[in-house]
Structure 1
């Protein structure tokens, strides 16, 4: 009897996990990243000048963007108010459309996009919305939540 209950429990857990991954997923932007500065090499340093070293530092999250194709190609999608899974959201995107030849990507920007971390959005996702909040120190937290449902425009 114990084995049967354990098997049923494992099946239920596996099914719940499959439902979660089949209907959508979340991408959390790291709240802070640490960067290490290298000493730049200049071809010609004018007489009497030297290159100043910079300190390694932490950069705080400042933005989130969604792109059609790789972000380096600069096809950033404009966010809009929309309905996903019967719920209205202020910041939404349609992703992985027929026009997104290379797929869709999310970009997390740090210190005014001085540094960007990018991640490809799963190709089965059809719509996403941003969820912004603040941590206990008032630092920005943001996650991209995606769904297999189509984005419905607000009229």
Structure 2
């Protein structure tokens, strides 16, 4: 009888594991900081009497994250909307396609890291948190489900 209970328990636990794995959230986490050796600035013309000073050996903290419909260089930034997922409201959510990119911004887009979003995803939302030192942490969560909950484009 004990063996039968253990088998039943194992089957139930395995079943729960499979169902939660099927609903797993895809996640991209921006690196909290990046070390920059130098940021070159190129000007087509330098105004008379001016010089450029380069910033070197900087530690930049992530400050934002957005989704683009193509590589961010093509300027296809998607407009976020508000969506409620599992009872929680997210202000920055996007319905995405198979060529969406996540942009991690450092020092207000002074440096960007980009990563393509898994093409099988349908809805993504960004989560901003603060660590103990007050630095922003940025994470993109995505789901294969098309979330058409309450939306507002403001």
Query: Where on the TM-score scale, by shorter chain, does this alignment land: which range?
Result: 0.7 to 0.9
Q: Which runs of 5+ in 2 are unaligned?
A: none
Q: What SS is found at the alignment partner of 1:91?
A: strand
> Compared with structure 1, are the counterparts of its residues 91 and 40 closer, same or farther at alpha carbon in structure 2 (3 Å cutoff)?
closer
Equivalent residue number for residue 83 of structure 2? 82
Residues in 2 aligned to 1:51 and 1:87: alpha-carbon distance in whole angstroms: 47
Match of 1:116 among 112, 115, 135: 112
Q: Which moved more, 1:123-132 or 1:49-58?
A: 49-58
Residues in 2 aligned to 1:113 and 1:41: alpha-carbon distance in whole angstroms: 16
> Compared with structure 1, are the counterparts of its residues 40 and 19 closer, same or farther at alpha carbon in structure 2 (3 Å cutoff)?
same
Equivalent residue number for residue 132 of structure 1? 128
Equivalent residue number for residue 56 of structure 1? 57
Match of 2:102 among 103, 106, 114: 106
4+ residue segments displaced more than 4 Å: 38-42, 49-53
Aligned-pair CA distance for 1:67: 0.4
Q: What SS is found at the alignment partner of 1:72?
A: helix
Paired residues of 1:68 and 1:105 also in contact (CA < 8 A): yes
Equivalent residue number for residue 35 of structure 2? 34
Residues in 1 aligned to 2:87 and 2:77: alpha-carbon distance in whole angstroms: 25
1:111-148 Cα offsets, whole Å, 9 max, x none, are 01000000001011100111111001000011011001
Paired residues of 1:26 and 1:144 also in contact (CA < 8 A): yes
> Compared with structure 1, are the counterparts of its residues 112 and 85 closer, same or farther at alpha carbon in structure 2 (3 Å cutoff)?
same
| TM-score (structure 1 length as normaliser) | 0.72
Residues in 2 aligned to 1:68 and 1:41: alpha-carbon distance in whole angstroms: 27
Paired residues of 1:65 and 1:106 also in contact (CA < 8 A): yes
RMSD: 3.6
How many residues in Structure 1 have an aligned counterpart in Structure 2? 140
